[in-house]
Every structure is written in structure tokens, then in C-alpha cells.
Structure 1
Amino acid sequence: MDFTVRQIARMIDHSILRPEFTNDDVRAGCAVAAQYQVASVCVRPCDVPLAAELLRDTGVLVGTVVGFPHGSTTTTVKVTETEQAIRRGATEIDMVLNVGWLRSGDIASVEAEIVEVVRAAGAVPVKVILETAYLTDEEKLAACWASERAGAAFVKTSTGFAPTGATIDDLALMRSAVSPKVQVKASGGIRSLDTILAMAAVGVTRFGSSATAEILEDLARRQVTVPAGRA
């Protein structure tokens, strides 16, 4: 499967989520996102206004996280976070589902919460983070089905704060669980072009990564044609 640098860039959500990041770190991350014309940045909720200002008129969307990173805040808090983020300039929402409810088998509560966040988001797409590191295959499937029924635009593997992140097996399972209306996002440990290419081959269409520049520069190098006689 062949991709241009532009095509891969438009599949990346450049991650700027580390808790120790300063305002200057956020500015630097947004500059990378604008330079490479990625799909979006994913920033901490407190950074949404700054990112929205920096990326205005660049074509790069501003995403943020809800219930991050553990998913255990109340539904009311997640709804409020979503509404406030959108008012402040967010155009995508990545929410962590309630992992404890899911592992308890309370799928109805998991789904009802996603419904509330999707409703609060309105036209803004919601990506549901499953945190696959903590789940059985059966729980991953149940989470995907609940997310689609609730109206989510994406199902997503990980926050990047769990013991492990995205795997090919999990992504293939998630892709098989949802209809073509729902996209699959890989996040957690996405640090190389080869990883992205392998995951795209199983149907992943969006990637959360902080290694954007390295990934895209690698692809650009691979696509350079060496003129005859200069090898």
C-alpha cells in the first residue's frame, strides 16, 4: 500500500498531551502540526484556546481529551468537559470510556455515557478510547459495539498512559467489530512509519503520535529517487 507524505500526514493527530508540557512546548507542537499539515493536534483541555489561536486558518483541527486518562470521572463531568472544550475551540473530542464499568459488564452504563457525550458534542466527532491494555477481546468487542450504537465517529485503542498501547491484533479486531461508518484510531506507541503502514493495512485511518516529524521525514527520504550515476 503506497502513501504520499501528504496522505500520511492527514492521518495523524499530533499528540501534545504530556502533563509536564509548558506553553512553549504546546506552541512548538502546534508549529510541527502546521508545518506538516496533519489532520489535527490533540492537546490537553487547558491548551485548547492556545492551540485554536495558533492553528486558525491552517486547516489543522484542534482535538482534546475528555475523562482523560482514566475514564473514571462522572458522566456529568465528561459532558461539561465536552461542552467547554467545544466553546473554547475544539473541533474533535477523544473521550475515555469508563473502563471499570466495562470490565464489570455494565455495558448499558458505558453506552449511555457515550450517548451523552456524543449528544453534547453535536456535530463535533467523538473518538471513544477503549484503553485496550486492560480489556479482554470480548470487552473490546462490547466497547466497539456500544460506541457505534451510541453514535461515536471513531473507536480508539489507548490513551498512551496504560502499560501497553496499540497492537495489530487489537486494531484488526476493532475494525472487524464496527461498520464502515465508524473509523479506527491507533494510539499508544505509534513512533515509526513502518508501524503506521502495518496498521493502515488492517484498516486504521487515524493515528495518535508525538513522533510526527520523524515519521513523515522517514517517508520523504524513502520516496526520494536517486538520479542515475549518483548512487
Structure 2
Amino acid sequence: MTTLQAHLRNFRDGGELYRLFEHIPDVLFFAKDGEGRLIMGNQRFVEHCGLSSIDELAGKSDYDIFPNYMAEKFATDDQAVLSSGKPLLHLVELFPSRDRLPEWFTTNKYPIFDDNGNAAAVCGIVQNYEQSFYDSNDPVSKVVELIKDRFDQALSIPELSKEAGLSQRQLERLFKKRFSITPREYIIRLRVLIAADQLRFTSKGITEIALDCGFYDHSSFTRQFKRHMGTLPLQFRKNESG
């Protein structure tokens, strides 16, 4: 065991600071070694990974827990932190939550240095971005909920704007300020991620999934899926099942 690993284990097993993360609401905390193996995580992170204890988590990589496309993104970000020795802050990303419906999360990753001053591990905190700003009276929150409820239907940005009490221009400006994408792009990303989940966990055909997720035909679904996921739906299903 290296000095760094010993420090991290002591931090996990007896540190007051580590236990603090168990009492901060809605915060997921984790740490990984330089090889991408999880060393620790608070109980919320453990449960978010579908596990029950830190002992189950320790030693696993993102590829053991998350879909490949997510694990690849996490590994790329970790490597950027290790290579630069600098944190990656305020990464706002759309990922499936524990109930499998995609939600916005914000992640901050920091390097952990060894005795020689080299970045040798990564720790981070993840928070549900939607919960951090949700307000039933907030028009953007209302539009997010409307889109989630109706993602499988034909959605009109002018109609969503009207229901939120905004002009289309106001909605697009406020939405982009919060998420850095337009409402239309959010709808497409949401549908693609829900479709990816169905490709992984159901035996439905591609056309059926496309229609269930609000795409008007097989062709438009395939085009948008490849644009966002970097591969075709059938290949994605093979990769994730393998």
C-alpha cells in the first residue's frame, strides 16, 4: 500500500472530515486512485451506484457501475485532472438518475497530491443541479417538468413558453443561461438518453423505441442518437450488453 493509499484509507475509516460528507444534504462524494478505482464514497454515492456499502464500492471502476458512455466521460475528466493537476469545476451534465429519468447534475473534481507533489488521485462532489434551483414558481423549472412529463409527445417551444408565462425569446434566453443549451436541444438530449436506457434494459425494436421516446421516425432517431452518443443505436446496444 502506498503512502497516499494509506492516507486515504485513514481518512475514510477515521476522519471527521470524511464523516462530514454523510451529513451534507444531496451531496455525493467520491475518491478514486490514479487507475480509476474507487477508494471511497459517502453513503449517498454508494446508493446512487446501486450498491449498499463502501466495501462493495471499493476497488470498482466506473466501467463496473455505469454505462460505457458515461464511464468513458468520467474517465476522460479524471485524466484531465490528473494530467493538469488542476480541478474541473461546475461540470453541468445530463445523466440518468436513480429512477432512470435523466436529470441535470453538477460535478466538481479535484486532484489529490502524493508526497512528491504529483496528482495521484481524484476526489469529487456531485449534486443534483435541478434540485438546487427548483421552485414551483420558477418558469424554467416548470418547463423542465413539462418536458419530462411529455417527452414522448410532440412538443412546441412556443406552447411551452406560453404555459410558463414567457415569450419564446425569454424562455430560450433563461434556459440557455441556466443549462447552456436551448429548450429544443434539451428535449433531444433527454429523448436520446431515455432511448439509450431502453436499448440497455429492454428488448424493444429500434423503431418502437424511437416512437416511444418522441422521435417521429426511425431515421430521425438514428441521426440524433449518433450525433449525441457517437454510435448507432444497434451498435450501442451491442456495446452495452457486451
Judge same fold: TM > 0.5, yes or no: no
Higher relative contact order (CA closer than 8 Å, sequence separation 6+):
1
Q: Which structure dedicates a bigger proportion of its chain to helix? A: 2
TM-score, scaled relative to structure 2? 0.30
